Amino acid sequence: MVNKQNFTPTRTPMPEQPANVRNKNFSEVALGYSKEEAMAEAARCLQCKKPLCQKGCPVEIDIKEFIKHLADGDIPSAYRTIKETNALPAVCGRVCPQENQCEGSCILGKKYEPVAIGRLERFVADTFDSDSACEMITGHTACSLPNEQFKVACIGSGPSSLTVSGYLAARGVPVTVYEALHEVGGVLIYGIPEFRLPKSIVAREVGALWSKGVTFMPNYVGGKTLTVQDLFDDGFDAVFIGVGAGLPWFLNIPGENLVGVYSSNEYLTRINLGRAYDFPKFDTPAPKARNVAVIGGGNVAMDAARTALRLGADNVYITYRRTKEEMPARLEELHHAIEEGVQLELLTSPIEINGDENSHVKSMTLQVMELGEPDDSGRRRPVPVKGKTKELEVDMVILAVGTGANPVLLEATPGLDLNKWGYIVTDAETGETSIPNVYAGGDIAGGSATVISAMGAGRRAAKTIADKLGV
């Protein structure tokens, strides 16, 4: 039944920095709702008897319930509801592809615009003023006291491990998180740029976990500084592996090792983790270029392209072998990128990167493509137009064509079953691997996916561990 009184067909717009201003800075693009805007948007929710949105959410937040509280202006109750299942709402509200998840399932979206669930989740997480770390982590004022008889280790500190730590810390289990880099947060820190996810948001979550008894150990490389066996020898009851899928893919085309060719991982790690955008205040040098080509059509490609614009490039091209419609990136990200001045070179696939006499990139040769018959995934397959190529003058190429499983930890862990793509095999129900009491989740157990699905996997494993420990 449509609540006619409050019903509006379009969603409340969210203020954002104008495109010609934001493409020169690294501050967050979307500025967030005010309380009035959030309550007005919350009032659009129909409070369905059988809400489809909840099924669309990988961690099944009770969306209807939290929105009801928000519509009443009760932020603490809304926060508590979200926190029942979601460890990092301020993150998810910003980076989830809601159009394929909760909002994609919202009944209003069938005829009008769906409720802006992500923006509301973000508003609640940003605005709720917790009294304690326990309240921030769980939404409740009291957590279990630390029980020193147990200890659990996480390898990797991305979204899946942060979820495991939060879940167990709230139940009194001390967790130690080992991270290879010098800063905690995984892809939230090195991958997703400041203009989409401010680092202060991640730091706040990590800070709350520290105060709830989670210990973060940076500069520990799983498989090098320590192995899974070392952790068991050290008395850990369970080990969760959440090391992500951090191995960058290259295309194996001529010219790929020329100066000026980067993996998106390197480019983004320099800028985000190394703060190279603030060179020379920070020591990591930022790669400089006037004309940049980013290869790929996913969110990482958008992040890299928008970063290159902010670093002052005159032209940034996204080259993609299919059309706009098939791009895997979030619509919102693509839209933002185009608004900011990113140019699309669609239906092209690079075949060679050409260098000058100093082995520096000077152009890229692209094979022109057209769409053929649909492939197994249902998307129309790009096929080369015979003999038709074009040359793009660029002095930098960023490859954002996906990542695979990094073998460093896996090679050092005998007995760990991997699938044919090199990812860890886990039990779908429990998250346990082929080694007893070793769990895995997130990208290392399933290939590159979303922050929220990594968190879902973390939650599943944490539940199993908590059950086994009897907490």
Which residues are near other proteins by CB under 8 A?
180-182, 217-221, 224-226, 246-248, 250, 252, 256-257, 259-260, 262-263, 265-266, 269-270, 274-275, 279-286, 288, 358-359, 406-408
Distance in Å, CB of 333 to other proteins, minimum: 22
Alpha-carbon distance values, 16 to 13, 90, 285 (Å): 9, 17, 30
Q: How far apart are CA 245 and CA 59, in angstroms?
A: 21
Distance in Å, CB of 256 to other proteins, minimum: 7
**Considering only CA atoms, which of 256, 174, 250, 234 is closest in space to residue 210?**
174
Tokens 């709402």 sit on residue: 89
Distance in Å, CB of 282 to other proteins, minimum: 5
Distance in Å, CB of 220 to other proteins, minimum: 7
Distance in Å, CB of 265 to other proteins, minimum: 5
Cβ nearer to other proteins, comparing 175 with 410:
410
Cβ nearer to other proteins, comparing 7 with 250:
250
Cβ nearer to other proteins, comparing 109 with 355:
355
Cβ nearer to other proteins, comparing 187 with 462:
187
* Positive or negative torsion for Cα 146, 152, 154, 160: negative
Amino acid at 140: H
Cβ nearer to other proteins, comparing 256 with 339:
256
Distance in Å, CB of 302 to other proteins, minimum: 19
Amino acid at 306: R
CA–chain centroid gap for 115, Å, is 22
| Helices first, then strands: H and E counts in the chain | 18, 15
Cβ nearer to other proteins, comparing 65 with 395:
395
Cβ nearer to other proteins, comparing 149 with 257:
257
According to DSSP, the residues that pair with 152 across neighbouring strands are: 175, 238
Alpha-carbon distance values, 54 to 57, 102, 201, 290 (Å): 5, 6, 25, 45
Q: How far apart are CA 337 and CA 304, in angstroms?
A: 10
C-alpha R_g of the chain: 23
Q: How far apart are CA 338 and CA 318, in angstroms?
A: 10
Distance in Å, CB of 221 to other proteins, minimum: 6
Distance in Å, CB of 373 to other proteins, minimum: 33
Cβ nearer to other proteins, comparing 7 with 282:
282
Distance in Å, CB of 291 to other proteins, minimum: 17
Distance in Å, CB of 334 to other proteins, minimum: 25
According to DSSP, the residues that pair with 396 across neighbouring strands are: 292
> DSSP characters for 201-214?
HHHHHHHHHHHTTE
Token pair, residue 348, equals 């092209």
According to DSSP, the residues that pair with 345 across neighbouring strands are: 319
Distance in Å, CB of 289 to other proteins, minimum: 12
Cβ nearer to other proteins, comparing 304 with 347:
304
Residues near 420 by Cβ (< 8 Å), separated by ≥ 6?
none
Alpha-carbon distance values, 307 to 199, 225, 274, 276, 373 (Å): 15, 33, 14, 11, 35
Cβ nearer to other proteins, comparing 76 with 447:
447
Cβ nearer to other proteins, comparing 132 with 227:
227
Distance in Å, CB of 142 to other proteins, minimum: 34
The beta strand positions in 286-415, using DSSP E, are 291-295, 315-320, 343-346, 348-355, 361-374, 380-393, 396-399, 403-404
For helices 199-211 and 159-170, what crossing angle results, to 10°?
30
Cβ nearer to other proteins, comparing 58 with 287:
287
Pairing of strands 348-355, 175-178: unpaired
